[in-house]
Structure 1
Amino acid sequence: MSTDLTRRHCQPLEGHPAMTAAEITQHLALVEGWQLAGGFIEKRYTFPDFHRTIGFVNALAWIANAEDHHPELALSYGHCTVRFNTHSVNGISINDFICAAKVDALLKTGA
């Protein structure tokens, strides 16, 4: 089902409400390994070295720019934690799950 999310694109959501707790739970089931943490959805990715970590971050940056939806990142040698929320709705939105699915797809396609 996350494949369906990868086919969608982020939309402006000003004036729309944030997802409810039930909607967030439902959507978390569509993106493996993502969890709710402090008003964000987040996932930690691990890599064998810094070079691959930065390659992942660069590919993720391309997605974020294309979707105009930008995560918070925490990275170090061999890992990167990605956190999404939607400032315009003051919470979690479908845009966060669209981007989460697209970031996951990076590793499934070998990008």
Structure 2
Amino acid sequence: MSSPLADEPVEPADEGAEPLTDDEYAEYLAELGPVWEVVDDHHLEATYEFDDFADALAFTNEIGELAEAEGHHPDLHLSWGEVGVEMWSHDIGGLHESDFVMAARMDRIYDGDGGD
């Protein structure tokens, strides 16, 4: 089951916004799947596992479609049976609520609750 966070809008950070603090992002992180972690109070990272390269590639393509539709693009690392994801808001140099919304949507796609 996906997080309700996945239903929230992806909105850019307001001009002059600061990245979320660890206290602020802890609530969002708790709503994500267990693959996600915050690294250096700067970005989200996850590794999704698949049975083969084709499934990993298909997931990567779905994430690409999501990113293009929302105008918010993660760094993706495709390898056999794995897709690594790094997500942060480049314009504020750290984490924003929209990063967690995107992560929740990636979880939803991975879980098969809305990837098509």
- Per the normalisation by structure 1, the TM-score is 0.91
AA paired with 2:4?
A: D
Q: CA deviation at 1:31?
A: 0.3
Q: CA deviation at 1:4?
A: 2.2
Q: 1:37 aligns with which of 28, 36, 39?
A: 39
Per-residue deviation, residues 7-30 of structure 1 (Å, max 9, x unmatched): 112112132111011112221101
Higher-helix-fraction structure: 1
Matched residues, number: 111
Q: Is the 2:2–2:111 Cα contact (8 Å) retained in structure 1? A: no
Q: Is the 1:15–1:88 Cα contact (8 Å) retained in structure 2? A: no
The structure 1 segments of at least 4 consecutive aligned residues displaced by more than 4 Å after TM superposition are none
Q: Is the 1:84–1:96 Cα contact (8 Å) retained in structure 2? A: yes
Per-residue deviation, residues 61-94 of structure 1 (Å, max 9, x unmatched): 1111111110011121110111100011111000
Q: CA deviation at 1:40?
A: 1.1
Structure 2: runs of 5 or more not aligned: none
Per-residue deviation, residues 9-61 of structure 1 (Å, max 9, x unmatched): 21121321110111122211010221012421111001011100100000001
Q: CA deviation at 1:99?
A: 0.2
Cα distance in 2, alignment partners of residues 5 and 62 from structure 1: 19
Partner of residue 11, structure 1: 11
Partner of residue 105, structure 1: 108
AA paired with 1:7?
A: D
3-state SS, counterpart of residue 80 of structure 1: strand
- Per the normalisation by structure 2, the TM-score is 0.88
